């Protein structure tokens, strides 16, 4: 079977035969079992590891905006007790959100509804002595299809509202604090106005969990398919000095729980590994595109030497049409690798004008996948891995 046929087979099975694969759902489990079977069929020895992950990407924002709205009501009608409680609740929410958006443990994560998910990983040994480890990650779960992602216009509105909500929460905290000591009636009116974007995000967040899961042909059957096809290629043509871990994570869409769980279990084993993430690479006319930075709230900057290597390979192989982009208002499993101190690079299929086609939309289906884009990305990743292998010491 050719590489392009393998890619088609994997994307079809994940997005059509299985379909939507929400985090911690039975369909996500079926996708993991499929990956495990693929690796076993290559005479490799996959490992499936179970972990607890969040069921929703939106619950932290539903809970936090709800608590801010409760703080406002308590502030307006709770008298002296309300004046004291409101800033404490708001400070709690802000601190928890900052930690959540930094992928760190926080009270929001403690109280979220959890379910069981799984990572499937397999190590492909090099032809000679191990000098370096490469980890290549492609998640298998899919996101919901909220109104915030239905169009570029809606996504722009959502981004502006989230920024306004964060600023509003900070201003509310300051006003609540001032009102403990000095009461200004005008400030009470201002707090009501500041709660308008908070209410808007609350309504968008709570409604998101009632939308269907995406079929996820691009996000991220495309990336998972690449990892499976790459394992097949490595089984026949192992690198010379690099052990390669191929990892299919669960629960990426709800806060990268799978990547965090895998690294918690394997970080000591992989040492100073090179960590590559593959996500959303099958959009029409996209990529290969590698990220220089990704920013949700705080920036996660990718390894400068890997970026320079990718830039050189892009220049030497113009037929692959590779380029770099900076990602804003989104995250990948790559952020977890950076957080762990690894040398990282992530591939996300942005088009040259900065769009991820069909991202978190009902149109993310098999028929809209550009397999030439996936194949070009796979060819580029293979060149990158070979270059890393040559330089391994």
For residue 146, pLDDT over 80 is answered with: yes
Taking the domains of the chain in order of start, what are their residue ranges?
3-52+117-145+212-391, 59-109+149-208
Q: What is the pLDDT of residue 297?
A: 84
3-class DSSP assignment, residue 117: strand
Decide if domain 3-52+117-145+212-391 falls under CATH 3.40.50.800.
no
Nearest-angstrom CA–CA distance, 89 and 163: 20
Please state the rounded mean pLDDT for residues 160-178.
95
Residues recorded for the chain: 393
- The four Cα atoms 124, 129, 131, 134 give a dihedral, to 10 degrees, of -10
For residue 80, pLDDT over 90 is answered with: no
- Residue 127 burial by Cβ neighbours in a 10 Å radius (0-12, 13-18, 19+): exposed
For residue 77, pLDDT over 90 is answered with: yes
Q: What is the pLDDT of residue 98?
A: 95
Per-residue model confidence as pLDDT tens digits over 259-283: 999 999 999 999 999 999 999 999 9
Q: What is the CA radius of gyration of the chain?
A: 22
- Residue 69 burial by Cβ neighbours in a 10 Å radius (0-12, 13-18, 19+): middle
For residue 184, pLDDT over 80 is answered with: no
Please state the rounded mean pLDDT for residues 114-143.
97
Say what percent of the chain tops pLDDT 90: 93
């Amino acid at each position: 079977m050719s590489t392009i046929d393998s890619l088609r087979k994997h994307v079809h099975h994940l997005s059509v035969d299985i379909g939507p694969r929400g985090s911690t759902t039975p369909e996500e489990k079926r996708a993991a079992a499929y990956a495990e079977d693929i690796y076993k069929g290559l005479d490799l020895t996959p490992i499936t590891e179970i972990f607890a992950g969040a069921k929703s990407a939106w619950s932290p924002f539903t809970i936090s905006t709800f608590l801010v709205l409760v703080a406002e009501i308590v502030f307006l009608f709770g008298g002296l007790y309300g004046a004291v409680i409101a800033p404490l609740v708001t400070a709690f929410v802000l601190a928890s959100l900052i930690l959540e958006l930094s992928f760190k443990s926080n009270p929001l994560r403690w109280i979220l509804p959890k379910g069981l998910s799984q990572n499937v990983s397999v190590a492909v040994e090099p032809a000679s002595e191990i000098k370096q480890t490469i980890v290549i990650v492609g998640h298998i779960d899919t996101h919901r299809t909220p109104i915030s992602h239905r169009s570029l216009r809606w996504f722009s509105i959502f981004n502006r509202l989230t920024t306004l909500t964060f600023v509003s929460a900070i201003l509310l905290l300051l006003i609540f604090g001032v009102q403990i000591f000095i009461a200004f009636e005008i400030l009470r009116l201002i707090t009501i106005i500041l709660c308008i974007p908070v209410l808007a995000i609350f309504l968008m967040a709570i409604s998101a969990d009632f939308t269907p899961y995406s079929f996820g042909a691009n996000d991220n059957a495309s990336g998972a398919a690449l990892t499976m096809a790459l394992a097949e290629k490595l089984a026949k043509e192992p690198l010379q000095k690099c052990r390669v871990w191929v990892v299919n994570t669960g629960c990426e869409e709800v806060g990268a729980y799978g990547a965090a769980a895998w690294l918690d279990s394997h970080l000591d084993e992989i040492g100073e590994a090179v960590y590559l993430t593959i996500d959303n690479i099958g959009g029409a006319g996209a990529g290969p595109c590698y990220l220089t930075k990704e920013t949700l709230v705080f920036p996660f900057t990718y390894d400068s030497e890997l970026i320079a290597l990718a830039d050189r390979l892009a220049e030497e192989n113009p037929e692959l049409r590779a380029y770099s982009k900076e990602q804003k208002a989104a995250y990948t499993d790559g952020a977890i690798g950076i957080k762990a101190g690894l040398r990282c690079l992530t591939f996300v299929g942005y088009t040259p004008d900065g769009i991820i086609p069909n991202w978190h939309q009902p149109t993310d289906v098999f028929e809209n996948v550009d397999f030439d884009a996936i194949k070009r990305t796979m060819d580029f990743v293979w060149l990158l891995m070979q270059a890393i292998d040559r330089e391994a010491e």
